[in-house]
Chain A
Amino acid sequence: MARKITTDLVDSIKEMVHHLATTHARSFAHLTYADLRIEVAEGKAAAAENGSSKFSTEDYGFAFGVRVLAGERMIAPGYFGRSLGAADLDQLEKLLKEGLEKAYRRAMANGELKATVREKFGSLGDSLMDARLHPIQVRQEVVPAECEIDPRTMVLGEMVRYTTDVSKQVGGVHAHLKYNFISTMTQLSRELFASSEGALIDQAFALTQGLCYVVAVAGETSQELYDVLGHQRGWEILERGVDEPFIKFPPFTEFARVLAGEAVELAAAPALPSTDREVAVVTDPHYNTLVSHEIIGHPVELDRVLKMETAYAGRSWLLRTLDEHQVGKPVASPLVTAYSDPSLPGYGHYKYDHEGTPARRVVHIEKGIFKGFMNSRQTAAIFGGDPNGHWKATDASLVPLIRMSNTVFAQGEGHARDIIAEVDHGYYLVGHRIPSIAESRENFRISARKVYEIRNGQLDQLYRDGGIMADTKDYLMKVDAVGSDFRLYPIPNCGKGQPMQTKKLGNGGPTMRSRARLTGAVVGRME
C-alpha cells in the first residue's frame, strides 16, 4: 500500500537527493552543473457561490524538476520535470536519476546543435555562447514556515462552513448583488533544492488566502470586482485579519462585505469621462501596488531585459543593448525610490530562490536614478553584477523565471490627506482593478476600483469604470508627492513564462501624486 505524502517526506529523502545532485550527477562525463528541486505541499481549499457550497478539497502536491548544463563542444541547458504521487515513493531515487539522465541528454544534444549552428552562421553565430552561471555562495540551510494555525490542522468541513457563510453574508449586502464567488485556501509547502555544487536548502512556506468576486447590477450598468486577502501565514489571517506594520487587513468576512458594498455603490455611480490632457492624479497604496508591479517590477526582470521574453511577456524599455541602457540615468522624479525585497513579509517573502541564491534587496530606482535589475545566475553572468535571488518557479516541475519578490515604491514623508488637500482640481484613484501595459512597459493603462474627483482639496463625485493612461517615464518623472502610508498587498496571479506560470508575489507602495490622462468608459461612440 502506498504511503501517505506529507511535507515530512523531505526529511527522509534529503540525503538521497543531496547524493544524486553531487556524486551521481558529477559522474556524467560532460556535465558542468546540475540541480534538483523537489516540492511537497499539503493544502486545503473551499469555494462557494451565492451562499451555496460548491467545492472543497484536501490533497497533496508532489513534483520534481531538474536542470543540467552540459555539452562536449559547447555547454547548453537541458531540463526535465514531472509530477509524482504516493505510488512513486518506493522508486523515487530511480525516477530522479531518470530525470537527471533525460535532462543531461537534452543538454548534450542542445550543446552539439549549438556548436553546429555557431559554425554555420558566421557572425550571426558569434552570440551563441556556452551556458554559464554566475558563482554564488553555496549554502545548506533549513528555513521553517511561520504560522499560528498550521494549515495541516485545519478541518476541511470547518473551512467549507466558513466559506459558505462568507458567501451568504456577501449575498445579503444588497439586492443589486447578482453574483458572488468566495474561495479560501490554506497550505503548507516544503521545497528542497540540491545542486552539484553542494547546496542543500530546505525551505517551508505557509500560505493562506481568501478571494472574493462580486457582480453588482443596477439597471443597465454593472460592476465586477474581485480582490484577495492573503499572507504567508495560517488560517488565523482570515478569521482575525492582519495587523502588521506594512500589511493590514480586516477579517475576511468584513473584507468581502466591504468589496460587495463598493460594487453596489459603483454600479449606481456615473462612468468616468476620459480626458485628452493630463490632470493631477493621486493614487492610493492599493492602486500603486499594481503600478509598482507593472511599470517597476516587470521591466526590471533581467530575463526580459535581455530579450528572453520577446515572444511572450515582452522586453524592457530600460535596456536596448548591453552598452545602451538606463542604469545610472534619471528615470523618475527625485522623490521616487523603488526596490524588490524578499525579506519583507507577505507573498513575496523567501530566503533563497530556486537556484539556491541567498535572496536580498535590490534597489531599482534611488531618488529617481535607475540602479539595477532583478536577476538570476545565468542573466547575472551575461549582464554583470552579483545574483540577487529572483529565479522562481510556481511548481518544481517547471523551469524558473525571474520573478518579483516584494517589488514596491518606497515610502516618502507626506501625509495622504495633505497630498489630496494640496490639489485644487484632480482625481483620486482608489484600489487597482485591471491593467494593460505596453510591450516594453513604456506605457500603461490601469483601471481603478473607484475614482473620486478632487475639488479644492476635497473628495467630490465618485465615478465607476475609470483609470489612467500614461507613458511610464513621463509619469514617474512627474511624481511630486510621496506619502508615508506604505502598504504591502498580495498579487495572486502574475502570469509569465511558457507554459504560463501564474505566481503569487507581493507589491506595494504609499500614496503618490503625479499627472496622467484619465481613461473612462467608452460612451457616446457606441452607435
Chain B
Amino acid sequence: MIATSELAKAAKQAFEYVKAQPDIQECEVFAAADGALLTRVNYTSHIPCNGVEEPKSTESYGIGIQAAVKTPDGITIGFGSEPSDLTLEGAKRALGKARQGAVRDPEFHSLPRPTGEPRTLADYHDPKLLHVQDEGLVEAGWKVVTGALRTFMASSRLAELAGSEAAMKRLGLILGGDVTMLQERVAIVSTHMPTVQVDESTLIMGFLTAMVEARNAKGSGWSTGTRLDHFTDEAGVDAATNAIQAIGGERVRSGDYTVIFGKQPVTDILNNLVLPACTASSFYSSSTPFVGKLGKPVASPLLTIYDHGAMPGFMGSKGITCEGLPTGRTDLIRNGVLVGCLTNWYEAQRLLRDARITEKLGVEAAAARSALLPRNGFRFGAGGGRQFDMPPGIAASNVVVEGAESSSLDELIAKVRNGLYVGRIWYTYPINGLRAGDFTCTVVGDSFIIKDGRLAAPIKANAIRINDNFIRLLAHIVGITKDVKGTLVWAADEVVYAPEVAVTGVHLDEIAGFMEDLT
C-alpha cells in the first residue's frame, strides 16, 4: 500500500503545479490510497459450501483535483482524477480532466475554507491492520465460522431437536456474512488550506447472520473496531447463539403495538430514513419531511441524535474530512428539536445563500449558520474507503443516539409490559418518498413477544411487515436504553452507536401465511 508520506509529497507537488497555472483561481488536491479486504462467509450444514466463500480484496490509489478555472465566460468549477499515478504527470492529467469537465455553476462560491475549529484526532489507526497478509484475511473469516460452529455444536437445544449430533446438520444451520477490513490513507492540500494534511484510518468489522433454517430461526451478530488485536469470533458466536434463541417463533396478529426497536432496527431506520432527512441536500431539494423545521420539535423530547466523527476508538472516526476540515460533533436532534444538518462545504454554502432558505430551513441564514457546519464532506465509495476519484459528498460518520431518561433494556421491557421487541428489520424504505415519511419493512429475526413485562417467546421470522410513518415514530418514543453498541447495516457508510428505543402504536401487518402450508 502506498505510504502516507508518498501521498503527502504527491499532493504538495501537484498543488504547487496547479496553483501556478495562470487560469486557476483556486484548487484542491486530494491523494488517497485505499485497501478493502473482505472475507465473505457462507456455511450451510445442509448444502455443499466453501465455509469461507470469498477471500478477496480491492486496491486503488491516485490523485483527484478540484479546480476553479478562470475563463472568458467567468469562473468554472471542475473535477478530474488519475488512478495509479502520483507523479507530476498524473497530476497534469487530472488537472486536464478537471479543466475539460469544468462547468459554470452559479452556486459555487469557493472551495472549502477553514472553519476555525481545531483538529482533535490524529494517529489513531492500527498499523497492524495496514499490513494484513493474505493468510490473515482468510483466517479472519474462518475465525467467525469456527466461533459459530462451536456454538452450534455445544447447543443442547440443537442436539435435542436433532436427536443426535450426527443429525444436527439436517437442521439447516447457516452462517453468512463477512469480515471487512478497510485501510485508508489520504493527503489533502488546497488554496485555502495550503499546508498538506494527512489522515490514516483503519477499521475492522464483522457482520454475521446465522439460522436454524428448519425452524425458521434467525439471529444476528456483529462487531466493530479499529484494532486487529481486538477482533474475535464474537460476531459468529453471537449470531449462532441468537439463532438458537429464536427457535420456536410465533406469529403475531396484525394491529398496533408498542414496539421496542433493537439496535439493528434503530440503525436501519436512521440509515434509510432519519439521516437522509437530516442531510443538507435534502433541505436544498425540499425532499425532507423536516423542511422548514430547523429549531422546531420533530421528535419526542426524549430523543437526541448527533454525529461525531472525532470520537476516539469509534469505528467511523476520521481526523479530517475529505475536504480537509476537522471532524467533530454535529447535533442533529437535541431533546426532540431539529438543531443541525449533515453537510459538506458546497451544500452549506449554497443553502446559506439560497433565496428560499427561510422556506427550506425555517430560519434565516444568520440563524442557520451554526446548524450547517461542514463536518461531513466525505468521498466514500466502492463499499468503503476514501476515494480519490470523486468530489466530496455528504456522509455520516459515527452517529450516536441518546435518551433523556435512559434506562436498562430490562427496565424498558418492564415498562412496555405488553408489546414486541423487534431486533432486526429489512428493506426499510420510504415507500412514498422521503418527504411523506411513510415507510415499510419486514421483521426478519432477533425478535420477541413482550408479555407481562418480560420476553415471552420469539417472533417467527419473515411473518410481519411494519407499515408506518417515521415522523410519527419519532414523535411517539416512550423510552430509550442507556447502553449503546456500534451497529452496522448492509451497505451503510456510517456506524450507529444505537440503544434500544420504545415506540407506541406501531402498525404491523401479518404476512406470508402461505409459507405455513408450503410443501
A positions within 8 Å CB-CB of B? 1-2, 46, 52-59, 62, 76-88, 102, 105-107, 109-110, 113-114, 117, 120-129, 131, 156, 160, 178-179, 181, 215, 217, 222-224, 274, 306-312, 314, 317, 320-322, 324, 326, 382, 397-399, 433-440, 442-443, 445, 447, 464-467, 469, 471, 473-474, 495, 498-500, 519, 521-522, 525-526
Q: Which residue of A lies closest to B164 (CB)?
A: A123
Residue of B nearest to A470 (CB): B511
Q: How many residues of chain B have a CB within 8 Å of chain A?
A: 118
In the complex, which residue of chain A has the Cβ closest to the Cβ of B284?
A: A179
B21 at the interface (CB under 8 A from A): no
Q: Which residues of A contact B435 (CB under 8 A)?
A: 215, 222, 224
**B100 and A321 contacting across the interface, CB-CB below 8 Å:** no
Hey, which chain A residues are within 8 Å of B83, CB to CB? 62, 83-85
Q: How far is the CA of A308 from the CA of B139 in the complex (A)?
A: 19
Can you list, as one digit per residue, whether each of B420-447 has a CB less than 8 Å from chain A (1) or not (0)?
0000001111111111111011101000
Asked if B340 is an interface residue, CB under 8 A from chain A, the answer is no
B467 touches A102 (CB 8 A): no
Contact call A525/B48, Cβ cutoff below 8 A = no
Q: Indicate whether A117 sits within 8 Å of B153 (C-beta atoms), given known contacts A83-B58, A439-B461.
A: no
Q: Is the CB of B176 within 8 A of A309?
A: yes
Q: Is B481 an interface residue (CB 8 A)?
A: no
* B56 within 8 A of partner (CB): yes
Q: Which of B25-75 contact A (CB under 8 A)?
A: 36, 38, 40-60, 62
B507 close to chain A: CB less than 8 A: yes
Q: A83-B60, A106-B134 are in contact. Are A500 and B172 (CB under 8 A)?
A: no
10 contacts between A and B (CB under 8 A): A52-B106, A55-B103, A59-B80, A106-B55, A117-B149, A215-B435, A307-B47, A399-B56, A469-B465, A495-B491
The reply to whether B54 and A79 form a contact with Cβ atoms under 8 Å apart is yes
The answer on a CB contact under 8 Å between B515 and A442 is yes
How close is B81's CB to chain A, nearest CB, in angstroms? 7
Q: How far is the CB of A313 from chain B (nearest CB, A)?
A: 8
Q: Chain A residue with minimal CB distance to B208?
A: A311
Task: Indicate if the CB atoms of B134 and A102 lie closer than 8 Å.
Answer: yes
| Residue from A78, A123, A397 whose CB has the most chain B CB atoms within 10 Å | A123
Residues in B whose Cβ lies below 8 Å from that of A473: 514, 518
Which one of B186-194, B195-203, B224-232, B468-476 contacts A? Answer: B468-476
List B contacts of A440 (CB < 8 A).
462
The answer on a CB contact under 8 Å between B176 and A113 is no
Q: A113-B142, A307-B42 are in contact. Are A434 and B432 (CB under 8 A)?
A: yes
Nearest B-chain residue to A66, judged by Cβ: B56
Bound-complex Cα distance A25 to B55 (A): 19
Residue of A56, A85, A181, A500 touching B383 (CB-CB under 8 A) = A500
Give the residue name and chain of the B residue nearest to A179 (CB).
Answer: B285
Cα distance, A447 to B440, chains bound together (Å): 11
The answer on a CB contact under 8 Å between B55 and A317 is no
A114: chain B residues at CB < 8 Å are: 50-52, 142
Q: Which residues of B contact A117 (CB under 8 A)?
A: 51, 142, 145-146, 149
Asked if A222 and B168 sit within 8 Å, CB to CB, the answer is no
Q: Are B44 and A307 in contact (CB under 8 A)?
A: yes
A224/B93 in contact, CB under 8 A: no
* Pick from A123, A223, A309, A447: contact of B169, CB under 8 Å: A123
Task: Report A-chain residues with C-beta under 8 Å of the C-beta of B518.
Answer: 317, 326, 473
Shortest distance between the CB of B158 and any CB in chain A (Å): 10
Q: Which of B84-92, B330-338, B400-408, B449-457 has 4 or more CB atoms under 8 Å from chain A?
A: B84-92
Cβ of B13: which chain A residues have Cβ within 8 Å of it?
none
Q: Give B314-343 as 1s and 0s: 1 = Cβ < 8 Å from A's Cβ atoms.
A: 000000000000000000000000000000
* A62→B85 CA distance, assembly (Å): 13
Is B6 on the interface with A (CB-CB < 8 A)?
A: no
- 13 more contacts with CB within 8 A, not counting A1-B89, A222-B433, A317-B518, are A55-B101, A59-B80, A86-B93, A121-B153, A123-B166, A124-B152, A125-B149, A310-B177, A465-B438, A469-B440, A473-B514, A525-B472, A525-B507
Q: Judging by beta carbons under 8 Å apart, are B46 and A522 in contact?
A: no
* Contact among B42, B49, B90, B438 with A521 in the assembled complex (CB-CB below 8 Å): B438
Name the B residues within 8 Å of A309 (CB-CB).
176
Give complex CA distance A324, B46 in Å.
11
Contacting residues, chain B, for A77 (C-beta < 8 A): 50, 53-55
In the complex formed, the residue of B with least CB distance to A59 is: B97
CB distance from B150 to the nearest CB of A (A): 8
Q: CB of B173 within 8 A of chain A? A: yes
Q: Does A398 contact B58, Cβ atoms closer than 8 Å?
A: yes
* Chain A residues touching B, majority SS: mixed
B261 at interface, CB cutoff 8 A: no
Find chain B residues with CB under 8 A from A178 CB: 285-286
A86/B174 contact (C-beta < 8 A), A52-B105, A57-B79, A179-B286 known: no
Cross-interface CB contact of A82 among B43, B59, B437, B519, cutoff 8 Å: B59
Question: Shortest Cβ distance from A38 into chain B, in angstroms?
Answer: 14
**A311-B442 CB under 8 A given contacts A83-B59, A179-B285, A399-B56:** no
Query: Given known contacts A123-B166, A312-B176, A399-B54, is B440 in contact with A105 (CB within 8 Å)?
Result: no
A471 smallest CB distance to B (angstroms): 5
* Contact pick for A124, options B173, B383, B434, B511, CB 8 Å: B173
Which partner residue on chain A sits nearest B286 by CB separation?
A: A178
Q: How far is the CA of A122 from the CA of B82 in the complex (A)?
A: 52
| Residues in chain B near residue A382, CB distance under 8 A | 47-48
- The reply to whether B442 and A53 form a contact with Cβ atoms under 8 Å apart is no
**A215: which B residues are within 8 A, CB to CB?**
285-287, 435
> Within the assembled complex, what's the spacing in Å between the Cα atoms of A442 and B434?
25
Instruction: Verify if B245 is at the interface (C-beta below 8 Å from A).
Output: no
A128: chain B residues within 8 A (beta carbon): 43, 49-51
Query: How far apart are A204's CB and chain B's nearest CB, in angstroms?
Result: 21
Given known pairs A85-B83, A471-B511, the reply for A127 and B429 (CB within 8 Å) is no
B237 CB within 8 Å of chain A: no
Residue in chain B with minimal CB distance to A306: B47
| Chain A min CB distance to B340 (Å) | 22
Q: How far is the CB of B426 from chain A (nearest CB, A)?
A: 5
Q: Are B51 and A56 in contact (CB under 8 A)?
A: no
Instruction: Chain A residues near B153: list those with CB within 8 A.
Output: 121-122, 124
Smallest Cβ-Cβ distance to A310: which chain B residue? B176
Closest 8 CB pairs of A and B: A499-B383, A85-B84, A85-B83, A79-B56, A87-B85, A310-B176, A53-B103, A311-B177
Decide: A224 and B433 in contact? CB cutoff 8 A: yes
Q: Is the CB of B49 within 8 A of A113?
A: no
Q: What residues of A have a CB within 8 angstroms of the CB of B497 in the complex?
A: none
Pair B100/A397 contact, Cβ less than 8 Å: no
Are A465 and B432 touching (Cβ within 8 A)? yes
- Taking A59-B97, A127-B46 as contacts, is the C-beta distance between A521 and B52 under 8 angstroms? no
Chain A residues, Cβ within 8 Å of B468: 522, 525
Residues of the B chain whose Cβ atoms lie less than 8 Å from the Cβ of A217: 286
Partner of B433, one of A121, A156, A436, A465: A465
Interface centre among B56, B106, B139 (most CB of A within 10 A): B56
Q: How would residues 143 to 170 of chain B score, 1 for a CB under 8 Å from any chain A CB and 0 otherwise?
A: 0011001001100000000000111110
Interface residues of B in 173-189 (CB under 8 A from A): 173-174, 176-178, 180
Q: Inside 8 A of B441's CB, which chain A residues have their CB?
A: 436
B209 interface residue, CB < 8 Å from A? yes
Asked if residues B442 and A127 are in contact (CB atoms below 8 Å), the reply is no
Q: Chain B residues near A442 (CB, 8 Å)?
A: 462, 511-512, 514-515
Q: Indicate which residue in A58, A82, A320 contacts B58 across the interface (CB closer than 8 Å).
A: A82
A-chain residues with CB within 8 Å of residue B53 when the two chains form the complex = 77, 308
Question: Is B138 in the interface zone, CB < 8 Å from A?
Answer: yes
Cβ contacts under 8 Å, B45 to chain A: 124, 126-127
Quick check: A87 and B134 within 8 Å, CB to CB?
Answer: no
Q: Judge whether B512 and A471 touch: CB under 8 Å.
A: yes
Partner among A53, A222, A435, A469 whose Cβ is within 8 Å of the Cβ of B104: A53
Residues of B within 8 Å of A78, CB to CB, are 55-56, 134, 138
Residue B382 at the A interface, CB < 8 A?
Answer: yes
A438 to B468, CA, bound (A): 16
On chain A, the residues within 8 Å of B85 by CB distance are 2, 85-87
